[in-house]
Amino acid sequence: MKLMSTGYVERGRTQQKQRTREALIAAARRLVAEGSTPTVEEAAAAALISRTTAYRYFASQAALLVAAHPEIDTRSLLPADASDDPAERLDAVLDAITEIIADTEPQQRTVLRLSLDPDPHIRAELPLRQGRAIGWITEALEPLRDQFGDEDLLTLVHAIRSAVGIEALVWLMDVAGHSKEEAVAIQRWSGRAMLAAACDPSGPRLPAPAPPPVG
């Protein structure tokens, strides 16, 4: 089951259909930003589009909310004149990731809630599970690949990702009681500290990858 099918949009009167789809997504984003988790019907009402028409674009609430998630098409967070220094590159990426998450916190929380859905098909389609942040962090640390090797570099990327994201922001704010600004600063510090520790010859070694299952 695919959540985000564009087949209907691609058949006939594509420009008009694209505008309708974008209006539904924009309405859903507004509603999420206001603190709700809109259904397809609620987004349709907010966009002044009929319920029947809306369901031609989004067959379920999950499909709509996934489409409304921000920054889906972002391929790189590095500036055009990015440094070759891994620490500077990671700084730029961490700043961008945490800014995106902080600026779109309601949408990010909505997708995080969906990630707990018992339906594995819904979970598989979510942006949280598509590895975008992994790709951004990996690109930042690419100059270290020869030094670390593929496995250790991926372990470091995963460690940094575990400290940077909506999951960490929610814990820092809702459980630890930090303000959003404090939570963002802690996430950025954590990522930078992990890189510094990994690059320090006297520091703790990166954990070895788990062996593959036997049998």
Residue 4 confidence class, pLDDT cut points 50, 70, 90 = very low
Query: pLDDT tens-digit profile of 103-117?
Result: 888 888 887 887 777
Residue 213 confidence class, pLDDT cut points 50, 70, 90 = low
Domain with CATH 1.10.10.60 in the chain: 14-67
Indicate the residue type of 198.
Answer: A
State the chain's mean pLDDT as an integer. 85
For residue 93, how many C-alpha atoms fall within 13 Å in the half-sphere facing its CB?
32
- Region 43-62 average pLDDT: 92
- Give the integer Cα–Cα distance in Å for 123 and 126: 6
- Give this prediction's pTM: 0.71
pLDDT reading at 59 higher than 80: yes
Residue 127 confidence class, pLDDT cut points 50, 70, 90 = low
Token pair of 55 as six digits? 């369901």
- Region 180-199 average pLDDT: 97
pLDDT reading at 120 higher than 60: yes
- Region 198-205 average pLDDT: 88
- Give the integer Cα–Cα distance in Å for 74 and 34: 24
103: which DSSP letter?
H
Q: What pLDDT, on a 0 to 100 scale, did the predictor assign at position 1?
A: 42
Q: What pLDDT, on a 0 to 100 scale, did the predictor assign at position 128?
A: 55
Percent of the chain topping pLDDT 70 = 83
Q: Which CATH class is domain 14-67?
A: mainly alpha
| DSSP secondary structure of 135-170 | HHHHHHTGGGHHHH-HHHHHHHHHHHHHHSSHHHHH
Phi, psi of 205 (to 5 degrees): -75, 150
- Region 163-189 average pLDDT: 96
C-beta of residue 66 within 8 angstroms of C-beta of residue 3 = yes
